[in-house]
Chain A
Amino acid sequence: MSNTSTMVTLTIDGIRTEVPEGTLVIEAARQVGIMVPHFCYHPKLEPDANCRMCLVEIEKIPKLQTSCSTRVAEGMVVRSSVPHVESARKSVLELLLGNHPLDCPVCDQGGRCDLQDFSHEYTPTVSRFKELKRVFPKQYLGPVIETQMNRCVSCMRCVRYCDEVMDAQALAAEGRGTITQITHWAGNELECDMCGGCIQICPVGAITSRLSMYDYRPWMLKRTETICSYCGDGCQITVQRKDDQLIEVNSALGAGRNNGDLCVRGYFGYHAAEHPDRVQQPLVRQADGSFAEVTWEEALDRVARQFTRIKATHGSDAIGGLITTRCTNEDLYLFQKFMRVVIGTNQIDSGARYGHINGVRALRRVQGTHRWTIRYEDLAQADAIMLVGTNVNESNPITALHVKQAVKRKGAQLVTLESLLPVRSTVSNITTLSKHHLEVKSGQFSAAILGLVKAVVESNLVQEDVAREAPEFVQTIRTNVAKVSWDAIREQSGLSQTDVETAARTYSQAERAVVLVGREVLRSLGGEGLVTNLMDLQILTGHLRRSGSGLGCLAEGSNDQGAVEMGAVAEYFPGPAGLHDEESQKTLTRTWGQAVPAGAPATLPEVLTRARTGDIKSLFIVGDNPVESLPGDAGVTEALDALEFLVCQDLFLTETAKRAHVVFPACSAMEKDGTFTNTEGHVQSVRQATEPLGESRPDWEMFSALSVLMDHPIEYNEVKEIFKEIRGVIPGYGLLGPASTPPKVDEKTVAQYVTSGFKEDVDQRYTLDASPAAPEGALTLRLVQSLYHSGKYSTRAKGLMEIEGEGRLHVNAREAGRLGIEEGQTVRLANDGGQATVSVKLNDRVPDAVAWFPEHFDEPVRALFSLKVDPHTHVPVWKTAHVTVTKWSSTNRSIEERSRV
């Protein structure tokens, strides 16, 4: 935008400078290296001009002006350090200090406090104010945030951040004048996004973190810039430690793709890595079934010998591998190389199988690139944004912030197809910002997407040139959607024709439109087809090729995208390239010095089936935990118990690792170097922030060590050498810096798709499959992602467990009333699979006849779910069940107990 706007020339303290029209004077000064002192100004927030600290003199204006709210004008002459400006600042400080407790020595902010710095600079040592200082008691805002309002300078940055950026509106100012204090709305516990933003943005020490209170002074901290490993947004974080103790994680303004914002997991979740339960020594199973701690040499030797033996007696394909997407690109690459080269099998899969693969396959098929063709900056420029089954605020909170910004600042029109009610509370809810919220019945996104396409085709929203260039494509879709009636769509998805048509119109008519697709589509049966239908929608409306428009699939794992690109999934070589891609086979053969294996690949469900049938004798599981990430009826434990030899490499002794014969202690992402590829496709550096705990080592070192012991050395001196090799295999990998442009749609692939490619399955994709009706009186129970957790890993983080420490059944008040239950009461869930007793939490964003349960605590309810596997992409789908809910009281229990006796 800045290149189109006119430039304005002005002089600041004698320095002439040119800045775009509309720039604030304080920003213009910053650009020429003059820091005008300020409290209430923050680049992320709208000017508020309440603190008067930033006063400057502007020629021809009689009074001093606040530079944080004055915009530049042609020929302006600004003076920021003349005596009467300085004396004005001095008085402002005097006023603030008049009521400040001056407890800098014990304040956690002391040493990095704006008030302290400016006081040193302007030294108002005497004060003319004689009033008594106010004394507020210290307050805890929930389990992790505390306030000490004596220190507050009433700049309102926290309140404004919480409202303008987070859209949570959890904070407010109370009282007036000197007794103004910041507090939260209701009750004792603060319930909000817990993003830590108010702590970061407070210029003084009035809001601080309870997790590290009084543990440190800022000057003791050593800092490392790395990437958060809790979700696919890939936020840049600054890990701060005192000696080897983790003290704090924050993020600097302007840093990374998150521009200094974090979510609760990034800000408060850092303790997971130093949990006392970490495996710190290699473990080997003894004859009596217990684990013994052994040396690395012994453990590696044992594994190498067993792998060699099994390979020799049963062939390469008797060994399979699974890896988590929390690993770095280097780990993932080396793992698949180890499996393909040293073991000689293609039977590998990763956490991308849980859903991300559906998106990548569809993108590759239609647009020829596996990455987003848009980036966060395009969200800010978009005229319309459509979210389909994302629950983006919970799964990808920073992507959600970009969406919020686009809507609140730039007026983008938001269309949401989500299964949650647009209810406002002090926890932000993306659907409340929506212009057209389509409340899709849980799990019925197929009908909703079909409706969108139908609306576009039938309301003449198809772009003329598309109809001209690909008449057959348009015609086929037209005939297909004509077969489905609006009544059927309403019946299944709960959406009315008019609503869908308005939403479709908003999307189609926008100049730049971005679609974000989330887990409810990606992790559903037929997910690939649904994303393909959304791609069709883009083609029909002409958005596919328009710059600034595009579709993105939200990656949940920190390196889902990287796992696919590194070839750590069944269907791809690094690139990703198909297993039959000759070009890729040639490159790999040349780089690896050996032909790529020809055996059949195996996806996660296939690996488990083959293990159960005895075709696979040994598994190498790196960080993945199928026992706990698949339901009981998936038969994972049977599969693992049937193995001759199981090796796990993990941070913790998970349910899967407990079944292993050898467990290698792995490093957390904070303890190693490497790269992550975020959901947008940005490759970012992960840097070692703390020393590996105990004997744990980075994953790649173990693959390398095993390869040496198995007489097939693939050795590297450091992680950078692996990255270099990746670059050789995937030319230009990781060159996508923040300034670069995203990949373009591949025209040849699109042309091929619209002329013939679509025919393959178009008839199946545009049908409504009869979904199993819920039994009478049953509630739909869904395992959902909680904002405060990520997978099972985050349940080891002290701070996050204090925020949400147990799984509770979320139902809305109407449903609770119908069931006659109240908050905190215990209910019993039951269906054919089993039963569970859980306590209830009221949550008004849960739709009627639905209950949510956080998947991170699914242990007690897992028996209620049963596994379905997508026949095409083998994505395991199991997070919805139908249950009956009954009130559970101690009398019930005694009846139960008596009947058991």
Chain B
Amino acid sequence: MDTQKQTTRLLDAVLFREIWKAMKVTFKHMFHRPMTFQYPREKRTIPDAHRGALGLLRYDNGQERCVGCDLCEAACPSRCIKVISEEDKSLPLQRYATEFYIDITKCVFCGYCVEACPVNALAMTKMYEYSTHDKRTLLFDKERLYEIGEQHLEDAKKYLYAHNQEHDDEESRAYRYHFPQPIEKTEASDS
């Protein structure tokens, strides 16, 4: 071992060079933007394409978009959707979901159901805070799903936009399924 190396080591020890090196990182970070969040006091901005909890949407006039076609149920790889549908008695031919369930504990957030939906009734939202003590509340029913859709309408629409599914209602009507306008029920047609 030569003398020069020994001198360097001696100097390192006397001048606490290792410590300075370490402190350099610390000082550098004192002027750096923080990387972590103080969740739940602080929240992250979530990108529009984020796959959060599912919600059901209405058209602007308040009508339920969902036509109860069961296609989301068929598309779901984890089989967590259950739709029960019926004819709307006041609008012959109009099909709608009388019951709608998503078992969100089983959902893998693949978004296939949203893609399968012919009327963009389903969308994913930025909602992710729904932890609970009662697992049963995680079986989202129709009411809950519409509630989510209503609360997160803007995010839901952004999701559909980000996934290239819908720009706005009018535009979507042009290239999505267009159902024949239901005819109001009259006595004569109900023979």
Seen from chain A, the residues whose Cβ lies within 8 Å of a Cβ on chain B are: 101-106, 110, 133, 135, 137-140, 148, 150, 188-189, 213-215, 217, 219-220
Are A220 and B70 in contact, with the CB atoms below 8 A? yes
B95 touches A138 (CB 8 A): no
Residue numbers in A under 8 Å from B190 (CB-CB): 140
User: B93 and A138: CB pair below 8 A?
Assistant: yes
Task: For the complex, give the distance between the alpha carbons of A110 and B118 in Å.
Answer: 13
| B74 interface residue per 8 A CB criterion | yes
Residues B87 and A213 in contact, CB atoms below 8 Å apart: yes
Per the bound structure, the CA–CA distance linking A188 and B187 in Å amounts to 12
Kindly state the separation between the CA atoms of A434 and B163 in the bound complex, as whole angstroms. 67
Contact of B189 among A138, A213, A220 (CB under 8 A): A138
A-B contact pairs, 9 of them (CB 8 A): A101-B179, A104-B177, A105-B71, A105-B118, A110-B69, A139-B189, A140-B191, A148-B93, A150-B180
CB within 8 Å for A103 and B70 given contacts A138-B183, A214-B85: no
Q: In the complex the two chains form, is B92's CB within 8 Å of A138's CB? A: yes
Partner of B180, one of A135, A140, A213, A214: A135
Chain B contacts with A in 172-191, Cβ cutoff 8 A: 177-181, 183, 189-191
Chain A residues lying within 8 Å of B71, measured Cβ to Cβ, are 105
CB neighbours (8 Å) of B95 from chain A are 106, 214
CA of A110 to CA of B95, assembled, Å: 14
Binding site for A on B (CB under 8 A): 67-71, 74, 85-87, 92-93, 95, 118-119, 177-181, 183, 189-191
Chain B's closest residue to A143 (CB) is: B191
Add 13 more A-B contacts to A101-B179, A106-B93, A133-B180 (CB < 8 A): A102-B178, A103-B179, A105-B69, A105-B118, A106-B68, A106-B179, A138-B92, A138-B183, A213-B87, A214-B85, A214-B86, A214-B95, A220-B70
| Residue ID in chain B nearest A188 by CB atoms | B191
Report yes or no: A102 in contact with B177, Cβ–Cβ below 8 A: yes
Q: Contact between B189 and A137 (Cβ–Cβ < 8 Å)?
A: yes
Least Cβ–Cβ distance between B116 and chain A, in angstroms: 9
Least CB distance, B46 to chain A, in whole angstroms: 30
B88 — nearest CB in chain A belongs to which residue? A214
Q: Known: A138-B93, A138-B183, A214-B68. Contact between A105 and B177, CB under 8 A?
A: yes
Minimum distance in angstroms from B69 CB to a CB of chain A: 4
Summarize B's interface: helix, strand, loop or mixed.
Answer: loop
Given contacts A106-B68, A140-B191, contact A217 B183 (CB under 8 A): no
Contact of B67 among A102, A106, A188, A220 (CB under 8 A): A106
Top 7 closest pairs, chain A to chain B, by CB? A105-B69, A188-B191, A106-B95, A105-B118, A101-B180, A217-B70, A138-B92
Cβ-neighbour of A217 out of B74, B118, B177 (below 8 A): B74
Alpha-carbon distance A106/B69, docked complex (angstroms)? 5
How far apart are the CA atoms of A388 and B136 in the complex, in Å?
Answer: 67
Pair A105/B67 contact, Cβ less than 8 Å: yes
Bound-state Cα–Cα, A140 to B67, Å: 21
A217: nearest residue on chain B (CB-CB)?
Answer: B70
Q: How far is the CB of A298 from chain B (nearest CB, A)?
A: 38
Complex alpha-carbon distance, A376 and B70, angstroms: 43
Distance in angstroms between the alpha carbons of A215 and B69 in the assembled complex: 10
Query: Could you tell me if A103 and B92 are in contact, using CB atoms closer than 8 angstroms?
Result: no
Contacts of B183 on A, CB cut-off 8 Å? 135, 137-138
Q: How far, in angstroms, from A219 to B177 measured CA to CA in the complex?
A: 21
Complex alpha-carbon distance, A135 and B92, angstroms: 13
Q: A106-B67, A106-B68, A138-B93 are in contact. Are A219 and B74 (CB under 8 A)?
A: yes
Chain B residue, CB-CB nearest to A101: B180
Chain B neighbourhood of A106, CB < 8 A: 67-69, 93, 95, 179
Given known A-B contacts A106-B95, A217-B70, A219-B74, A189 and B191 have beta carbons under 8 A apart: yes
Q: Are A214 and B179 in contact (CB under 8 A)?
A: no
Residue among B86, B180, B189, B191 making CB contact with A103, cutoff 8 Å = B180
A845 to chain B, nearest CB (A): 25
Q: Please, how many angstroms separate the alpha-carbon atoms of A105 and B96 in the complex?
A: 11
- Whether B181 contacts A135 by the Cβ 8 Å rule is yes
Residues from chain A with a CB closer than 8 A to the CB of B93 are 106, 138, 148
Which residues of B have CB within 8 Å of A188? 191
Smallest CB separation, B74 vs chain A (Å): 6
**Distance from A883 Cβ to chain B, minimum over Cβ atoms (Å):** 34
Question: How far, in Å, is B168 (CB) from chain A's closest CB?
Answer: 21
Which residues of chain A are within 8 angstroms of B67 by Cβ–Cβ distance?
105-106
Please name all residues of chain A whose beta carbon is closer than 8 Å to the beta carbon of B189 when the two chains form the complex: 137-140
Q: A137-B183, A137-B189, A213-B87 are in contact. Are A103 and B74 (CB under 8 A)?
A: no
Are B118 and A214 within 8 A (Cβ)? no
Residues in chain B near residue A140, CB distance under 8 A: 189-191
Residues of chain B lying within 8 A (CB to CB) of residue A150: 180
Bound together, the chains give a CA A67 to CA B104 distance in angstroms of 52
Q: Shortest beta-carbon distance, A218 to chain B, in Å?
A: 10
Most buried by B among A140, A215, A217, A220: A217
**Cα distance A103–B180 in the bound complex, in angstroms:** 8
List of A residues within 8 angstroms of B87 by Cβ: 213-214
A103: nearest chain-B partner, CB-CB: B179
Q: Distance in Å from the Cβ of A215 to the closest Cβ of chain B?
A: 8
In the bound complex, residues from chain B placing their C-beta under 8 Å from that of A102 are 177-178
- Min Cβ gap A113→B in Å is 14
Could you say which residues of chain A place their CB within 8 Å of the CB of B179? 101, 103, 106
Give the residues in chain B near A219, CB-CB below 8 Å: 74
Residues in chain B near residue A101, CB distance under 8 A:
179-180
Kindly provide the distance from the CB of A507 to the nearest chain B CB, expressed in whole angstroms: 45
List residues of chain B with CB within 8 A of the CB of A104: 177
In whole angstroms, how far apart are the Cα atoms of A213 and B86 in the complex? 8
Closest approach, in angstroms, between the C-beta of A893 and any C-beta of chain B? 31
Q: Complex formed: what's the CA distance from A104 to B68 in Å?
A: 12
CA–CA, A148 and B189, complex, Å: 12
Q: How far is the CA of A110 from the CA of B70 in the complex (A)?
A: 11
- Closest chain-B Cβ to A217's Cβ sits at a distance in Å of 5
**Which residue of chain A has its CB nearest to the CB of B95?**
A106
Q: Which residue of B lies closest to A102 (CB)?
A: B177
* A524 CB, nearest partner CB in chain B, Å: 41
Q: In the bound complex, do residue A103 and residue B68 qualify as a contact, i.e. CB atoms below 8 Å apart?
A: no
**CB-CB < 8 A to A138: which residues of B?**
92-93, 183, 189
Query: Cα distance A214–B95 when bound, in Å?
Result: 7
Complex CA distance for A214 and B86, rounded to whole angstroms:
5
Residues of A near B86 (CB, < 8 A) are: 214-215
- Shortest beta-carbon distance from B176 to chain A in Å: 10
**CB nearest to B183 among chain A residues:** A137
Closest-CB distance, B68 to chain A (whole angstroms): 7
Q: Which of B69, B118, B181 has the most CB of A within 10 A?
A: B69
Smallest CB separation, A136 vs chain B (Å):
9
Closest to A135 in B: B180
Q: A352 to nearest B CB, angstroms?
A: 42
What CA separation (Å) do A148 and B182 show in the bound complex? 12
B94: nearest chain-A partner, CB-CB: A106
Which of B74, B180, B183, B189 has the largest number of chain A CB atoms within 10 A? B180
Q: How far is the CB of B106 from chain A (nearest CB, A)?
A: 18
Taking CB atoms, residues of chain B closer than 8 Å to A133 are 180
B174 CB to closest chain A CB (Å) equals: 13
CB-based contact B181/A103 at 8 Å: no
Question: Closest Cβ of chain A: how far from B23's Cβ, in Å?
Answer: 65
Chain B: which residue is nearest A141 at the CB level? B191
